Amino acid sequence: MKKLVVLTGAGISAESGISTFRDSDGLWENHRIEDVASPIGWERDPETVMKFYNLRRKQLFEVHPNEGHRALAKLQDHFDVQIITQNIDDLHERAGSSNVLHLHGELKKVRSTVHPELIYTMDHWELKMGDVCEKGHQLRPHIVWFGEAVPMIGIAAEIAEQADIFMVVGTSMAVYPAAGLIGFVKQYIPKYYIDPKAFQMPGIANLKTVNEKAGSGIPRLAKELLKMN
Ligand code: APR
């Protein structure tokens, strides 16, 4: 089976009702990154950070995958689909995608502030101060904050290098190292960028932009890929 590697961002979950970050009324319009998504913010005021992720986690228990997520899961019947996502939601998995690599962490997981290898899955939305790991240390959201390392980027680059087809969906390509992954894909490989604001990237060959929402753009492209397969 051909390897279809897909890099996704917040845009693929927009039609499920989850805000993106940089669109009008996006999360970063209403919150200061340094207050809610940085180690400094956590040191300074953990309650505010906790509340920010608790509200997002509460919403995640209420929303569902959309046609974009489902169309990628369906493509697994014909391709070896590898999803590399910047998203911290679990909508790819809930849509039935088996190979999902989370670059920026997972909202339904928390980890020890002292022993980062101690990671736990939440079955409810609220994490509180005083919730501790098995060694008695405060738990924090299992999220990659700005200024923190992206531990999975090496594996993600290897997957991108092996792509026979590469797809980018619903990301502004503004955040590195995730946005740099397209640079690891072989030049002659067909690439597609599905996003209402999709744009051509200097130095990236064979890139077809699809200025459409994921919910309609992915199913349509999937039909084309199946014809070519
Ligand atoms: N379908 C497809 N794309 C969409 C849709 C949709 N229905 N709605 C919006 N988009 C697109 C926007 O045009 C934009 O290009 O989704 C993109 C969202 O971009 P950002 O808000 O910048 O989100 P993302 O690229 O995922 O951010 C990357 O930045 O804030 C950090 O860690 C966070 O993982 C995140 C990273």
**To 10 degrees, what angle do helices 67-74 and 214-228 make?**
20
Q: Is 218 in the pocket of ligand 1 (CB under 6 A)?
A: no
pLDDT of residue 140: 98
**Residues in the chain where the model's pLDDT stays below 50:** none
Q: How far is the CA of 137 from the centre of ligand 1 (A)?
A: 34
Q: How far is the CA of 87 from the centre of ligand 1 (A)?
A: 9
DSSP per residue, 14-78:
HTTT---SSSTT-HHHHS-HHHHSSHHHHHH-HHHHHHHHHHHHHHHTT----HHHHHHHHGGGT
Q: Share the mean pLDDT of the chain.
A: 96
- Is the CB of residue 69 less than 8 Å from the CB of residue 97? yes
Nearest C-alpha neighbor of 178 from the set 83, 111, 49, 44: 83
Q: What is the pTM of this model?
A: 0.97
pLDDT of residue 204: 97
Q: Is 9 in the pocket of ligand 1 (CB under 6 A)?
A: yes
